[in-house]
A and B are shown apart, each in its own frame.
Chain A
Amino acid sequence: MTINESQDEIIEEFELFDDWADKYEYIIDLGKKLKGFPEEQKTEDNIIKGCQSRVWLNARKENESLVFDADSEAIIVKGLVNMLIRVLSGHLPQEIAKADLYFMEKIGMSQHLAQTRSNGLASMVKQMKNYAIAYSLKN
């Protein structure tokens, strides 16, 4: 599945919700389902500091693809992180670097990427792209 196919799939899933609470309950559920990020990797190097909550991000190469692991203290951010990983993880660094992430806006969650939220999520997306750029230059 391409990055855009994953995004479109998420958008489709969110079309089922007509109530804010259903939407957030789904995101909270995704947050709870996000695979545990190893405690020993919650280092200063992997931390993305936000004013509100911390996000941890790690990137590794599997064959030609870039795989992300991430975690957050706040469950809603964690749910959003889960979706970002679903969309970006496992793709070629070049694809990740040039990806246009439109799904957050389409599902009405773009405010979480806004500066005011200061939750580290926007910085995380930036950091994911930075990893992708770094790895694609390495190749």
Chain B
Amino acid sequence: MQLIETLDIQAIRADFPILNQEINGRKLVYFDNAATTQKPTSVIETISHYYNFDNANIHRGIHTLAERATRDFEASREAIRDFLGASSIEEIIFTSGTTQGINLVASTFGRKFIKEGDEIIISGMEHHSNIVPWQMLCEEKGIKLKVIPVTDLGELDMEAYANMLSEKVKLVSVNHVSNSLGTINPVKNIIDLAHSFGAKVLIDGAQATSHLNVDVQALDADFYVFSAHKLYGPTGIGVLYGKKDILNAMPPYMGGGEMIKDVTFEKTTYNELPYKFEAGTPNIADVVALKTALEYIAFHGKENIAAHEDMLLKYATEQLSEIEGLKIIGQSKEKISVVSFVMDGIHHQDVGVLLDNQGVAIRTGHHCTQPLMQRFNILGTSRASFAVYNTLEEIDKLVVGLHKVKKMLL
């Protein structure tokens, strides 16, 4: 694996000041990256620099600071367009995160274009944020929600999916990568099949964008949503990509400043894309810093990062599989660096507490995917998820920690 050697992981670790601390007397091992990644110094400094030197409200100001803030804000939009392979900046809408992106589509596209008797398809491995907005819409409008089943390996049953499709289906909304299992779903295939029946497709890319190359045009996705904080960027900012013609046909989401062209008490005309969907003063500093996060990823190369993470995944899978009584949930061949597991006779919460005492941060619980947990007949899992700054030695610490957990509990 020659690619791995191109990354100096120790130098990368030095870019993340938060990693250099002790938790309960042990050097922090941060394995909760699927929940949120840590931020490099460059991202933190961009936010600080923005407030120290450039802060102003964007788009309407005539003074220098407003020009600078607007320039950097829009430069970030262009960087995201490039990152996603979108054809135009009009297709890049800033949101507060993946959840808001999905809710925006449900509230606008969903309300306008999906009617009683129509159907929406989601999958059995969705995060609650890609279940509940559709349930709310379905209840309101009398739409039927269908769910693609998940196989024992933790993959989507594509045959069942193909059989579910019909002219009644107006939207398919699935994740690119499962947050609980790490499974990479065949989204290109899912999109092509949906399109053959005239259905639009939303891809929840929250877990995908920091690991996989995403090209929305090659995928032919109608909507693609993600959050900045899962790819080394700040919290509170996310992106909704939508095809221009669809976004133009959609009604606005929230009313307010920025999203209007002219307002009188008789009638308001709406602004053009992308501003039509960006009511109110946005989270400017964090949008600007998202560009820095993308530059950080580009500097190291996504392929190199993915190769490093794949190596961590392979090693962790091998090492954890050797622990007696431990079972990995989600055994697809196509996975990002997420290992979800259960241990015989041990509750995941106890695993989490006892690992934390050894300085190892993992996530335990249902990961906001309760239906998926029910599918596997479990209450929850322990999940270790890796990022570019993690090392093999840290995985060894997890393994030692888990042996200690077993010794203490059994």
Query: Which residues from chain A sit less than 8 Å from chain B, CB to CB?
Result: 20-21, 24-25, 28, 51-53, 73-77, 112, 118-119
Q: Contact partner of B349 among A20, A21, A25, A76, CB < 8 A?
A: A76
Which residues from B are CB-within-8-Å of A112? 353
Which residues from B are CB-within-8-Å of A77? 349
Q: Contact partner of B409 among A20, A75, A118, CB < 8 A?
A: A75
Which residues from A are CB-within-8-Å of B24? 20
Which residues from B are CB-within-8-Å of A52? 348-349, 352, 364-365, 380
| Contact A74 B349, CB 8 Å, known A24-B354, A52-B364, A52-B380 | yes
| Contact A75 B354, CB 8 Å, known A20-B24, A21-B408, A51-B365 | no
| Contact A119 B357, CB 8 Å, known A20-B24, A52-B380 | no
Give the complex CA separation of A85 and B408 in angstroms.
23
CB-based A-B contact count at 8 angstroms: 42
Interface readout for B387-410 with A: 1 if CB under 8 Å, 0 if not? 000000000000000001000110
> Can you list 28 residue pairs at the A/B interface with Cβ under 8 Å?
A20-B357, A21-B357, A21-B404, A21-B408, A24-B354, A24-B408, A25-B408, A28-B409, A51-B365, A51-B366, A52-B348, A52-B349, A52-B352, A52-B365, A52-B380, A53-B347, A53-B349, A53-B379, A73-B347, A74-B347, A74-B350, A75-B347, A75-B350, A75-B409, A76-B349, A76-B353, A77-B349, A118-B365
Give the complex CA separation of A28 and B352 in angstroms.
14
CB pair B409–A73 under 8 Å, yes or no, is no
Give the contact-size bracket for chain B: 10 to 19
B32 to chain A, nearest CB (A): 12
Give the complex CA separation of A76 and B355 in angstroms.
13
B235 to chain A, nearest CB (A): 16
CB pair A76–B350 under 8 Å, yes or no, is yes
Give the complex CA separation of A24 and B355 in angstroms.
12
Instruction: Select from chain B the residue with minimum beta-carbon distance to A23.
Output: B357
Query: Which residues from chain B sit less than 8 Å from chain A, CB to CB?
Result: 24, 347-350, 352-354, 357, 364-366, 379-380, 404, 408-409
Q: Contact partner of A24 among B347, B357, B366, B380, CB < 8 A?
A: B357
Which residues from A are CB-within-8-Å of B349? 52-53, 73-74, 76-77, 119
Give the complex CA separation of A129 and B233 in angstroms.
43
Which residues from A are CB-within-8-Å of B348? 52, 74
Give the complex CA separation of A20 and B380 in angstroms.
25
Which residues from A are CB-within-8-Å of B366? 51
Instruction: Select from chain A the residue with minimum beta-carbon distance to B352.
Output: A52
- A-B pairs, top 8 by smallest CB distance, nearest first, are A74-B349, A74-B347, A52-B349, A53-B349, A20-B357, A52-B365, A76-B350, A74-B350
Which residues from B are CB-within-8-Å of A74? 347-350
Which residues from A are CB-within-8-Å of B354? 24, 76
Which residues from B are CB-within-8-Å of A24? 353-354, 357, 408
Which residues from B are CB-within-8-Å of A118? 365
Give the complex CA separation of A28 and B364 in angstroms.
18
B175 to chain A, nearest CB (A): 21
Give the complex CA separation of A20 and B404 in angstroms.
12
Give the complex CA separation of A112 and B352 in angstroms.
12
Which residues from A are CB-within-8-Å of B357? 20-21, 24
Given contacts A52-B364, A74-B349, A76-B349, 7 further A-B contacts (CB under 8 A): A20-B24, A28-B408, A51-B365, A53-B379, A74-B347, A74-B348, A74-B350
Give the complex CA separation of A51 and B35 in angstroms.
15
Give the complex CA separation of A28 and B347 in angstroms.
12
Give the complex CA separation of A28 and B405 in angstroms.
11
Give the complex CA separation of A112 and B191 in angstroms.
45
Instruction: Select from chain A the residue with minimum beta-carbon distance to B404.
Output: A21
A38 to chain B, nearest CB (A): 20
B362 to chain A, nearest CB (A): 12
Give the complex CA separation of A75 and B348 in angstroms.
10
Give the complex CA separation of A20 and B354 in angstroms.
9
